[in-house]
Amino acid sequence: MTVTDSPTMSQRYGAPQQRMSPAAKKWSVISALALALAAAVWFTLGNSFGELTFKDVGYNIESDTRASVDYQVTKDFDATAQCMLHVMDSSYAIVGARIVTIGPHEGASNADRSQHFRSEVRTEHRGVTGVVDDCWLLD
């Protein structure tokens, strides 16, 4: 009788653990990979639908009372969004503001979700920059 097989050792430390069979190891790895793939697909698709993003593309100060803001909005095809545009002077004071509504549009692929716009903004004084301050979805 060896030291590891004695009743005292098994009572004290419990029975020796059984090792996984090669088939069980293989199915554990396959299951873990399948779960990781499913999670990646879930996060990728979940983040691309129902999301509204916007970014400034450019601006043009046309006169003391007019400017235009170029911007990109990415949204679902059937969604309607509104965006707040601001024209600011050199001290970052807002000299012009406008809310624009962006309605549903046609498209077939994920790349078609993005649209480029140029909107005119009336100003009280000459501005030096134009930005998209915020966008939100309408119910």
Q: What would the pLDDT profile of 30-89 be if each residue is shown by its tens digit?
A: 999 999 998 888 777 665 556 889 999 999 999 999 999 999 999 988 899 999 999 999
The pLDDT of residue 1 is above 60: no
Kindly state the average pLDDT of the residues 106-135: 92
User: Given a cut of 90, is residue 98 above it in pLDDT?
Assistant: yes
Span 53-137 CATH architecture: Sandwich (2.60)
Burial class (CB within 10 angstroms; exposed 0-12, middle 13-18, buried 19+) of 103: exposed
What per-residue confidence (pLDDT) applies to 82?
96
